[in-house]
């Protein structure tokens, strides 16, 4: 066997080429001398109910976990045996893991260890079910190891040892962590393993909270440098058929480190398990909290899925608007500039309207925020048009993607292109406007309402290829339903509207009583007393803004 040379190693095409192939030799025995490294042994020997592993890439923890899971599933109930469910972030990891288990079952447990592919029934929160591709190894003990191709919606429905691999890269990290905690009630055990994905990721937050004494996880920090110290290079040589030498070790190590070039933060995150400050969440919790102020109303309205068939839906919508939104509009200062942004949604996500008012020193404050869930198209249009009819000195930017396009176009047709802009947000548009929005939050010139949902929405803005973009994640809000950064996008659209000056129409609306709550604004923006017997329409043409 020949040792690698510096001339050979740099020719390898990717970082993964520097590590062993995923298929184990037929006679590979994980319990033989010189196979398991010290950090793998420490991980397996840790019998804590809750375990956290922050790891560098390809340091062998999934291998060690597969061996431990094989031993657990092969044991009897009296010896601590149990079912094991492995949940990766991508399908390929599930296949690699179950191959390890099948191999270990034959070599270590002396069982046939046949890998079976089947459809796993995942019960959804609404009572429906879906089928997930899964693989299992059944043991004579009666227990099994199951690897799923994707994350189940109902992790709480699993029971036994649950392993979440690359947790920081799951679509909804926080929801995964919340769900597995319910397993402890019936004696389950939890293993959460991951490399890092930014300092503000929920996986890193869990580690910090555990160190602060808020959770009882045992923590393992497994950087690439520790794995190298524990013999990772020698294991690579064993799998590759190389003869380990000092020169070969240095060449291999140099190639791994130099594969990242000048991207030192990316290298430290992937190899040394040090979370990047410049990746992951673009608008961290501390920044959003700094911009939040008490007393800014958030007005939610949620209706049933069949509300769009209700013949009284428009009357209900008008009553809701009159009770909850019209008083907020009446309280605005008609002499100040206003902006409106809306992130439109019909179902699934929220439809959020943000109205902001200009203050002193170029400081803008959200005046109120409306959150609509499952509200029909026609009722949403009524709400938007009423708001724009009653605002003074305003500009609006509306989400014109997907279903929002018809909504935004109708507003532009009614109020004109000088007042309403239809925005089809692209990666370039986000890259242009998100830095300005973040700067406004940092210097206190854009103020937000209080609330965990507002924070959660803004934390879904992430860096992608170095530029701010919306994450694909959905997070569960305070109402128990999912959100997708909706108020952050509405706020961004509203803030982008502050760059332009609203067109002046050469008039000032009549002053409204400051303390009176009787009456309201008519469609022309004028205050009318509660009893107004005058005709609603004159014979003269009615122009927006009045004559």
Query: In the structure encoding, which two tokens stand for residue 495, read together?
Result: 């803030």
Tally DSSP H helices, then E strands, for the chain: 17, 22
pLDDT in tens, 309-335: 999 999 999 999 999 999 999 999 999
The Cα 355–Cα 388 span in angstroms is: 10
Residues 6+ apart with CB under 8 A from 144: 73, 83, 84, 136, 137, 138
Which letter, b or e, does each residue of 217-228 get, where b requires 16 or more Cβ atoms within 10 Å of its Cβ? beebebbbebbb
Question: Do residues 94 and 149 make contact, with C-beta atoms less than 8 angstroms apart?
Answer: yes
Q: 108-121, pLDDT tens digit by residue?
A: 988 877 888 888 88
CATH superfamily placement of domain 9-272: P-loop containing nucleotide triphosphate hydrolases (3.40.50.300)
Nearest partner of 14 among 289, 270, 294, judged by Cα:
270
Is 430 within 8 Å of 467 (Cβ atoms)?
yes
- Is the Cβ–Cβ distance between 414 and 333 less than 8 Å? no
For 38-52, write each residue's pLDDT tens digit.
Answer: 999 999 999 999 999
Pairing relationship of beta strands 394-399 and 420-423 according to DSSP bridges: parallel
Nearest to 98 by CA among 141, 146, 166, 132: 146
CATH 3.40.50.300 domain range(s) in the chain: 9-272
pLDDT in tens, 20-35: 435 678 888 999 988 9
Cα four-point dihedral sign 20, 22, 23, 27: positive
Rg (C-alpha) for the chain, rounded Å, is 29
The CATH number corresponding to 285-497 among 3.40.50.1010, 3.90.226.10, 3.30.200.20, 3.30.420.240 equals 3.30.420.240
Q: Between 38-45 and 61-74, two packed helices, what is the crossing angle to 10 degrees? A: 40
CA atoms of 160 and 90, how far apart (whole Å): 22
Q: Give the span between the Cα atoms of 196 and 266, in whole angstroms.
A: 10
290 dihedral zone (left: phi>0; alpha: psi -120 to 50; beta): alpha
Instruction: Retrieve residue 74's tokens.
Output: 């092969």
Collapsed DSSP state (helix, strand, coil) of residue 189? strand
Whole-angstrom distance, CA of residue 146 vs CA of residue 138: 9
pTM, rounded to two decimals: 0.54
Cα angle value 12/231/17 (rounded, 5°): 15
Whether 318 contacts 383, CB under 8 Å = no
Per-residue pLDDT of the chain (547 residues; tens, 9 = 90+): 333 333 333 333 333 444 443 567 888 899 998 899 999 999 999 999 999 999 998 899 999 999 999 999 999 999 999 999 999 887 888 888 999 999 999 999 888 778 888 888 877 766 777 888 899 999 999 999 999 877 776 676 778 999 999 888 776 666 677 776 677 777 889 999 999 987 777 888 889 989 999 889 999 999 999 999 999 999 999 888 899 999 999 999 999 998 887 777 778 988 999 987 755 678 888 889 999 999 999 999 999 999 999 999 999 999 999 999 999 999 999 999 999 999 999 887 899 999 999 998 889 999 999 999 999 999 999 999 999 999 999 999 999 988 889 999 999 999 999 999 999 988 889 989 999 999 999 989 999 999 989 998 998 898 876 788 888 778 878 888 888 899 999 999 999 999 876 554 444 444 444 434 445 555 544 445 454 443 333 333 333 343 2
């Amino acid at each position: 066997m020949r040792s690698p040379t510096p001339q050979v190693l740099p020719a390898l095409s990717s970082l993964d080429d520097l590590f062993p192939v995923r298929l184990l030799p037929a006679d590979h025995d994980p319990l033989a001398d010189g196979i398991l490294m010290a950090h793998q042994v420490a991980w397996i020997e840790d019998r804590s109910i809750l375990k956290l592993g922050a790891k560098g890439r390809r340091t062998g923890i999934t291998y060690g976990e597969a061996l431990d899971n094989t031993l657990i599933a092969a044991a009897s109930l009296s010896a601590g045996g149990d079912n094991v469910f492995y949940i990766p972030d991508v399908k390929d990891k599930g296949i690699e893991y179950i191959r390890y288990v099948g191999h270990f079952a034959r070599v270590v447990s002396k069982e046939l260890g046949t890998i079976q592919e089947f459809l796993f029934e995942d019960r959804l929160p609404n009572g429906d079910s879906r089928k997930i591709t899964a693989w299992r190894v059944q043991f004579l003990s009666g227990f099994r190891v199951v690897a799923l191709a994707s994350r189940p919606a109902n992790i709480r429905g699993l029971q036994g040892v649950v392993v979440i691999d690359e947790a920081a890269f799951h679509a909804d990290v926080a929801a995964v962590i919340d769900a597995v905690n319910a397993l402890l009630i019936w004696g389950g055990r939890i293993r959460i393993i991951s490399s890092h994905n930014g300092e503000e990721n929920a996986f890193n937050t869990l580690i910090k909270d555990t160190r602060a004494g808020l959770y009882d996880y045992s923590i393992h920090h497994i950087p690439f440098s520790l794995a190298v110290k524990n013999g990772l290079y020698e294991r690579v040589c064993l799998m590759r058929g190389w003869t380990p030498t000092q020169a070969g070790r240095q060449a291999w190590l140099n190639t791994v480190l130099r594969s990242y070039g000048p991207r030192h933060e990316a290298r430290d995150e992937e190899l040394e398990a040090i979370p990047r400050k410049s990746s992951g969440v673009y608008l961290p919790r501390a920044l959003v909290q700094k911009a939040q102020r008490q007393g800014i109303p958030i007005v939610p309205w949620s209706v049933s899925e069949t509300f769009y068939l209700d013949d009284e839906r428009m009357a209900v919508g008008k009553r809701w608007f009159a009770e909850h939104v019209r008083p907020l509009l009446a309280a605005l200062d008609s002499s100040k500039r206003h902006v409106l942004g809306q992130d439109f949604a019909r179902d699934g996500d929220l439809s959020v309207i943000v109205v902001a008012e200009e203050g002193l020193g170029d400081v803008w404050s959200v005046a109120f925020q409306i959150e609509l869930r499952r509200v029909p198209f026609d009722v949403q249009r009524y709400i938007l048009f009423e708001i724009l009819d009653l605002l003074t000195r305003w500009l609006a930017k509306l989400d014109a993607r997907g279903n929002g396009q018809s909504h935004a176009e109708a507003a532009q047709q009614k109020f004109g292109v000088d007042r309403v802009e239809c925005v089809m947000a692209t990666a370039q548009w986000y890259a242009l406007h998100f830095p300005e929005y973040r700067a406004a939050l940092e210097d206190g010139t854009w103020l937000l309402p209080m609330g965990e949902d507002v924070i959660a929405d803004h934390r879904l803005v992430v860096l992608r290829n170095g530029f701010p973009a919306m994450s694909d994640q959905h997070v569960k809000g305070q109402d128990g339903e999912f959100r997708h950064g909706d108020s952050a996008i509405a706020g961004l659209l509203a803030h982008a509207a502050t760059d332009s000056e609203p067109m002046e129409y050469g008039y000032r609306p009549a002053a409204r009583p400051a303390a009176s709550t009787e009456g309201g604004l008519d469609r022309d923006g004028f205050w009318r007393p509660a009893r107004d017997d005058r005709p609603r329409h004159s014979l003269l043409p009615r122009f927006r803004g009045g004559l």
